[in-house]
Amino acid sequence: GAVVSQHPSWVICKSGTSVKIECRSLDFQATTMFWYRQFPKQSLMLMATSNEGSKATYEQGVEKDKFLINHASLTLSTLTVTSAHPEDSSFYICSARPGTGVLQETQYFGPGTRLLVL
């Protein structure tokens, strides 16, 4: 149980285009999903917290107009990288937290999406 999927797993795009990444909780409902970014040989950095039916909360330094997050249902959150540039190339990982209102519950991570912007 507690499986999180991401699609696509790999994406290569031209500079200036937009890319959408989907994160789905397959066997549980997630009122909260998280988006992280991982640079090579570095740790995961939280980008934003996505709550179903409301606006995402972005971490300091993360451009909300560039990284659009939509959490339209209890099992799906999307991250759209708008007007992507080479510096946006990275490994994007989502996680989902089951349950409602229990902050301590475990986050389950998706397999990640590797984005390469040419």
Partner 1 sequence: AQSVSQHNHHVILSEAASLELGCNYSYGGTVNLFWYVQYPGQHLQLLLKYFSGDPLVKGIKGFEAEFIKSKFSFNLRKPSVQWSDTAEYFCAVFYNQGGKLIFGQGTELSVKP
Q: Could you list the residues that contact partner 1 (CB under 8 A)?
A: 34, 41-46, 49, 93, 95, 103-104, 106-112
Q: Are 118 and 13 in contact (CB under 8 A)?
A: yes
Q: Using the minimum distance from each CB to partner 1, give the nearer residue, 14 or 104.
A: 104
Q: How far is the CB of 89 from partner 1 (least distance, A)?
A: 18
Nearer to partner 1, 14 or 54 (CB): 54
Cis, peptide link before residue 111, omega less than 30° from 0: no
State how far the Cα of 36 lies from the Cα of 48, in Å rounded to an integer. Answer: 7
CB-nearer residue toward partner 1: 67 or 108: 108
Q: Minimum distance between the CB of residue 10 and partner 1, rounded to whole angstroms?
A: 12
The partner residues of 79 in beta bridges, in order of sequence, read 21, 69
Query: For residue 31, which of 71, 78, 79 has the smallest C-alpha distance?
Result: 71
Beta bridge partners of 57: 49
CB of 15 to partner 1, least distance (A): 27
Between 84 and 93, CB nearer to partner 1: 93
